[in-house]
Structure formats: C-alpha cells, structure tokens
Amino acid sequence: MTLRSRLLLAQAPLVMALLFLGATAVITLERVGRAGQQVLADNYRSVLATQRITEQLERMDSAALFIIAGERERGLTQQAAQRQPLETELGVQQGNITEPGEAQATRRLRTAWTRYREAFDVFLQARDPDAARTRYFESLAPAFQEAKAAAASVLALNQDAMVRKNDRLHQQSEQVNTLMMLAVVVALAFGLLFTTSLVQRALRPVSVLSQAVRRLGQGDVEARAVVEGQDEIAGLARDFNTMAERLAQYRKSSLGELLQAQAVSQAAIDSLPDPVLVLGAEGGLLNVNAAAEAVLRLRLDEGGDALGRVEPEVRAVLERVRAHVVGGRGAYQPRGYEEAVRVESSPEGVRWLLPRGSPVHGETGDVVGATLILQDVTRLRRFDELKNDLVATVAHEVRTPLTSLRMAIHLVTEGVVGPVTEKQADLLFAAREDCERLQGIVDDLLDLSRIQSGQLQLDVREVGTEALVEQALAAQRTLAEDRGVRLSQSLSPDVETVRVDPDRLQLVLGNLVGNGVKHTPQGGEVSVHVSREGAHVRFEVRDTGEGIPAQEQARIFERFYRAPGAPAGGAGLGLSIARDIVQAHGGELGVVSTPGQGSTFWFTLPQPEQG
C-alpha cells in the first residue's frame, strides 16, 4: 500500500466517528420529531373535538335560552344546526381514544349527550315559554351541565396527557443532548486515538529512515534503515541503504589506500639512516622514523610531551629549527658543522647531528608543521678534527725552522756573515719576502686550528677606537704606499671606546684593510669607518677596487677559498678567520660589493651604549 493510501486510511476512524455522530443525530432527531407528532396526532385532535363539542353544547344551550325568551324560531334553527356537527365531533373523539380512562370518559360523554339531546327534544315539545322555562331548569340545564362536564373531563384528560408528554419530551431531549455530547466526545476521542495511531504507524518507517540518516551523518557508515514493504518510504530506505553500502565500500577502499600510502611513506622515512622528526605548528610530535627512535630514544606512542624526554641541548636545537620553519622563513639550512649538536644517548656512543628543516604545507598553503632531519655528521666532524690536528701539527712544525730560516736570510742579507753581491742580495730579498709570506700563511693556519679546536680565548678589554683603527692602518701603510693606495679613517664621536680583544680585532681589521689594498689599483683609496648602530658598533672597510661578483660573495668566507685570478700569496683563510673572530665577539661580518666600483666589508659588534 502506498504512503498516500495509508495516510488517507488513517483518516478513516475520524470519518467513521463523524458518520456515526451524524447517523445518531439524524435518528435521535427523527425520534424526537416523531414523538412530537404523536402528541399532535394522539391528543390534539381530541382536544379540538371536545372544545368544539363544548362550543356546540353552549350554542344549543343559548338556543334553548332564545326559545325561553320567545325567539322560538331562532332557537330552533340554532339548535338544529349544532346537532349534526356535534355528532360528527363525537364520532371523531370516539375514534381517537389514546389515553387510559379516555374510553370510559368518552362513553360518559356519549351518554350525557344522548340524555341532553332527549331532554332537548322534550323541551322543544313545550309550546309556551313558561312551561319551556320550567322544563329548561328542571331537566335541560342539568343535562347540559352534565354533558359539558363530561366533555370537560375528556378535554382535561387529553390536556393532562399533552402536558405530561411534553414534559417527557423535554426530558428526553435533554437526555438526547447529554447523550449526543457524550457520543461526540467518545467518538472524537476514539477517532483521534485511532487516527493518531494509524498515522504514527504509517510514518514509523520515516523515523527509522531519519535515524539511519542521522547516524550516517555522524560518521557511522554501518547505519542501515530496515523498512519492510513496497511503499515510497521503503523505496527510499532501499536507496539509502544502497548509498550507505557504497559509502562504506568507498571508505574501506580509500582507508586501505591511505593506510598503504602511510605504510609506504613510513617505510621510506624509516629507511633513512638519519633521525627524521615531523613536528606540528605548536611543537607536538607528529611522526618519527626508526633512526630517531633509536638515537633520540623517542617514542611516538608514548603520548604526552614526547619531546620533553629528549636531551635539553637537542631539544633547544629542534625548537629553534622548528620556530624558523614554522615562522614562515622557509627551509632551514645549517651554516656549517659548528651547528652540529652532540648526542650521547645513542647506541653507538657520542654522535654529532646537524639539523635541517623544511616546511609541511597544509591544504591552504600555510605552514602547518616542520620536517626536521638530523644529519649524522659524526664521521665528517672526525675528519675535520683530524684535518685540523694535521694542519696545526704541520704549521707548528714548519714555524720553528721557518723562523730560523728567516733569521739566517736576514743575517746574510745584512752582511753580518760577510759581504754580499748585489745579485745575491736580490735573490736573498726575494727569498726573505717568500719566507714572510710563508710565515703569514703558517700564522693563519695556526690561528685557524686554534679557533676550530675551540681554543679561541678572547681577552676582552676596553680600548680606544681610534688607536685600534690607527694601529691596523699603520700595519698596512708600507704596503699601501708601495701600491700607491691612500688610507683614511672616519670615526663617529659616539664610539670613543669599544670592548674587544684588541689583538684579535687588530687581526680582523688588518686582514680587511690588507685585502682592500691588495685589490685596489694605484690611486685608489681604502677607508675605515666606525659608527654606532643602536646596541652595536659598525665597522666598515671600503675600497675603490675591482669589486666582487655576486656569485663569489658568499664563497669568499669559506676556508681555503680563493677567487679565480686572486693575487698569489694568500691561503684563502683571512676572511674565514676574521668571521670566526667577529662571531666569537657575538657580532656578524659581511660584504656589499658592486663589481667595478669597489667593495665594503662590514662587521658589527654588540656594544651597549655608554652613559
């Protein structure tokens, strides 16, 4: 059955109740009406007849009075005119006996009438008025009274019956009213009850379906709507179940693919020998690979603050790299091995790990996390240490014989051990120059190995800025004069003193000024500028030389790097050592240069403002 027919059928009890009420009302009204009619039929006719009989009797009586009064003709006509109609009315009354005792009363009326009629006939026989009056009063008047009384009793009988029946009718109609009200209430109550229950039954499948839809909406793909039948709702439920089935299959398959994809990517990061961690934007640990679990003793399934169990130094590095990446500054690349962090807890003993970081982007393109790789540079660091040791040893071993060599050449050149020819002197000068250059390189190497082995102990003191700059320039003055390059300086008055290690800073300034002189053609200028920049003091060494191409600018600070075509003599260490010294002071060193227009090497030193 269709839903529409069911809903229509559900209205049937109400319709039936209405029909029942209507039928009851019609039947009851008809019964009441019939009772009223019965009253009319039963008693009204008798009342009418007896009233007429009374009237006719009275007219006969007045006819008798006419006769007594001497109007015999008129009286005769009048009494004759009443007799037949009276007989007729009496006949009607005799044929309409309805009440108990009425038959008897009617019989009495008939007898009284007969007696009155006979008395009237006798009365008419008296010719003179006196005799007539005597007869009237003796026999006719009593017979008239008797007949009238008999008619009145029949009338009263019927009138009483009418009153009684009217009362009964009234009572009945009140009862009918009450009954009808009761019937209305009962019929409506039953009708509503059945209609509601039928509507509910018809709509129950809808609520089953809506419950299933709600469960599916909450993510329960196993939700199904069990609705029997062939109606529209059952059809809808079947369609819904098919949809839910497809959804469940889709979820199963896409979940399977997702799990497989996750397993593949987990296997990929697990296969990396270096620890890999994926951190959320807030710092929570999202994923780790096997190496991270082994080296950092991290476990993802432990929950809570997993990173809190990592050594504090490692944690600080991880936090720094994460902040860099999540802060939107792109991937994090370490500047060098010195950023490697020491981890002792790993199974193979001490390890050095170099952090790198790259952003994880969300659907909208914003950074939602960071992937951190801790590259194991333990072996590389060992090689570096070995190289440093080797450099230090070689430099140290070379330094002493080099000093004796220089002294020997010096003594010979000065003619201490005998006269020297001009040719010999030329050769000795060249040899001495090479010795000095060699000594410079050896000194650079020794400085470098000292810095790298962490032995760069700064002896920080308050020194006059002008004296510092002047000394650095003085050391380069001979070279500058030889090359025809002017040296100058300009110091800002608010930087009278600086707190630095004067010997080391001398080295930095000397290096930069020396480089400037070496790379500036004759007639050029190298100038030193010192100024305050907030909580820093900024040193600049400007030259008017050949400048440095952009692609070289980052590389010239690498150790042993020398630009192609650079003048012979250096080892490519000066700038690297200068940067190390500046960084040891807490500052930074860099270059700004336009090829053909000269270069400006600058460095800053943190120096709180005085006063």
- The least CB distance from residue 557 to ligand ADP, in Å, is 7
Q: Which helix (H) or strand (E) holds 486?
A: strand 486-491
For residues 281 and 292, give the distance between their C-alpha atoms in angstroms, rounded to a whole number.
Answer: 19
For residues 373 and 317, give the distance between their C-alpha atoms in angstroms, rounded to a whole number.
Answer: 11
For residues 519 and 566, give the distance between their C-alpha atoms in angstroms, rounded to a whole number.
Answer: 8
CA 72 to chain centroid, in Å, comes to 122
In Å, what is the CA distance from 131 to each residue of 42, 61, 69, 429? 44, 16, 12, 212
In the complex with ligand ADP, which residue's Cβ is closer, 324 or 579? 579
In the complex with ligand ADP, which residue's Cβ is closer, 253 or 597? 597
In the complex with ligand ADP, which residue's Cβ is closer, 320 or 562? 562
276-280 and 285-288 beta bridge pairing: antiparallel
* Cα atoms in the Cβ-side hemisphere of radius 13 Å centred on 66: 15
- The least CB distance from residue 574 to ligand ADP, in Å, is 3
- CB-CB contact of 106 with 97 (8 Å): yes
In the complex with ligand ADP, which residue's Cβ is closer, 575 or 605? 575
- The least CB distance from residue 356 to ligand ADP, in Å, is 27
Taking CB atoms, the residue at the shortest distance from ligand ADP is 570
- The least CB distance from residue 553 to ligand ADP, in Å, is 9
For residues 528 and 517, give the distance between their C-alpha atoms in angstroms, rounded to a whole number.
Answer: 12
83: its two tokens: 């007799």
b/e for 5-34, b at 16 or more Cβ within 10 A?
Answer: ebeeebeebbeebeebbeebeeebeeeeee
- The least CB distance from residue 607 to ligand ADP, in Å, is 25
Q: What 3-state class would DSSP assign to 134?
A: helix
- The least CB distance from residue 397 to ligand ADP, in Å, is 22
In the complex with ligand ADP, which residue's Cβ is closer, 66 or 602? 602
In the complex with ligand ADP, which residue's Cβ is closer, 359 or 570? 570
184: its two tokens: 């209305």
180: CB partners within 8 A, 6+ apart: 21, 24, 25, 28
- The least CB distance from residue 573 to ligand ADP, in Å, is 6
Question: Which amino acid does the sequence have at 179?
Answer: L
Residues that bind ligand ADP (CB under 6 A): 515-516, 519, 543, 545-546, 548, 556, 561-563, 566, 570-576, 599
In the complex with ligand ADP, which residue's Cβ is closer, 116 or 539? 539
For residues 69 and 352, give the distance between their C-alpha atoms in angstroms, rounded to a whole number.
Answer: 166
- The least CB distance from residue 523 to ligand ADP, in Å, is 16
Q: What 3-state class would DSSP assign to 261?
A: helix
In the complex with ligand ADP, which residue's Cβ is closer, 82 or 506? 506
In the complex with ligand ADP, which residue's Cβ is closer, 25 or 441? 441
